[in-house]
Amino acid sequence: MVEPLISAKGIKKYFDVGEGMLKAVDGISFDIYPGETFGLVGESGCGKTTAGRTIVRLYDPTEGELIFNGKNIYELSSSEMQEVRRNFQIIFQDPYASLNPRMTVEDIVAEPLDIHKAYKSKKERRNRVIELLELVGLNEEHAMRFPHEFSGGQRQRVGIARALALNPKFIVCDEPISALDVSIQAQVVNLLKDLQEKLGLTYLFIAHDLSMVRYISDRVGVMYLGHMMEIAKSEELYISPIHPYTRALLSAIPIPDPDIQRGRERIMLEGDVPSPINPKEGCRFVDRCFYAIPKCREITPTLEEVKENHFVACHRAKEFIK
């Protein structure tokens, strides 16, 4: 059996917002294996980005463990984290906000090298920056420009180059294409796939574009209001989803065949996503679920394996297996 590269165990991240605790991430668990892409999907506000940032410890968790190389990184001191940070990187959602407008591209890409003192001379530093830019489809002449001189897609490439500077093993891609034009999105996703093959990278790919997640991911986790609802292999999840929320989400993906599209049943969810501040016991999805029973309001379902490698958090999951 291959050991997971990353094991998230019961991770929680709460924020005190005055009128109560905002439970952005409330006890999620999953493994990510070397060389795979684990997709994380769900509606806006469900806690995907907070989960990604807590996993790389940009936020300190409220509770839980993250095992990497046999150690719980949440227990490491700041000096011990320095070494882990070489292997953990993040590509941010907004390529306009995540690059310092006062720094040249060379200095932006070299910043991780500067922090970790990963070069012996200025020449070695510059050569590494040029190598990274070429890896993401840019070139040497881009190095002395500033971020405002680039398009959104080019800026995201600069962000990817920066994330690769220290040869990390694991990268959190936090909705890396959602701020880009549709025509550019496929280019950036294909670049990420090529880099994964070349460099043996492992990704946590956070997105709400379900068709793009299907294209890039090996396995997919579906989040709703801080809880993990379903985890399965990508094709398995898209062909035979089990959780009522997953089925409703996937029914919204348009199919480019008018005959099939006309005959599909679109599951329309009623109501809005409830507030994550002081949520009640029970299933988080209960107020919008057509299949809810009294037990769903009283007991929070746990994520259980209902088919091989297919995990669902639903009291009625076995009834929905096709």
Closest residue by Cα to residue 27 from 302, 312, 318: 302
- Over residues 89-112, the mean pLDDT reads 93
Residue 257 lies in a domain: yes
Residue 219 lies in a domain: no
Res. 322 pLDDT band, cuts 50 70 90: confident
Residue 195 lies in a domain: no
pTM across the whole model: 0.93
Range of the domain at 261: 241-322
Residue 282 lies in a domain: yes
- Over residues 181-185, the mean pLDDT reads 86
Res. 255 pLDDT band, cuts 50 70 90: low
* Confidence (pLDDT) at 262: 60
* Confidence (pLDDT) at 180: 84
Residue 18 lies in a domain: no
**Euclidean distance between CA atoms 289 and 121, whole angstroms:** 61
Residue 285 lies in a domain: yes
Q: In the chain, how many domains are there?
A: 1
**Euclidean distance between CA atoms 246 and 300, whole angstroms:** 17
* Confidence (pLDDT) at 142: 94
* Contact by Cβ (8 Å): 227, 23: no
Residue 235 lies in a domain: no
Residue 63 lies in a domain: no
